[in-house]
């Protein structure tokens, strides 16, 4: 029970910190909260999520496989050379 309360407080702190960070950068840079900028950020996140989500499942199930990063690099290189 104490562990769940500790995690809840930590996650709440991270969420509040994220909102505060978005607010501060939005006030400093007016174009930060622009819809176009947010769409480009989501687009950039999609490529990271394509590698991170399967790696999370592999690590959670007990297997450690770090070849995903090298495969992404190799496929990018081959795409540039032969694509």
- Same domain assignment for residues 22 and 43: no
Q: What is the pLDDT of residue 81?
A: 93
- Same domain assignment for residues 57 and 82: yes
Percent of the chain at pLDDT above 70? 90
Q: Domain range for residue 10?
A: 1-33
Q: Is residue 51 within 8 Å of 69, Cβ to Cβ?
A: yes
Best CA proximity match to 3, nearest among 18, 11, 17 = 11
Q: How far is CA 34 from CA 25, 41, 65, in A?
A: 12, 11, 38
Q: Is residue 33 within 8 Å of 26, Cβ to Cβ?
A: yes
Q: Is residue 50 within 8 Å of 72, Cβ to Cβ?
A: no
Percent of the chain at pLDDT above 90? 16
- The per-residue pLDDT of the chain, averaged, comes to 82
């Amino acid at each position: 029970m104490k562990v769940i309360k500790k995690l809840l407080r930590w996650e709440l702190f991270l969420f509040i910190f994220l909102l505060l960070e978005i607010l501060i950068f939005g006030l400093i840079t007016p174009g930060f909260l622009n819809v176009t900028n947010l769409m480009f950020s989501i687009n950039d996140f999609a490529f990271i999520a394509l590698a991170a989500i399967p790696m999370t499942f592999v690590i959670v199930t007990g297997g450690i496989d770090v070849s995903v990063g090298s495969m992404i690099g190799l496929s990018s290189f081959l795409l540039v050379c032969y694509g």
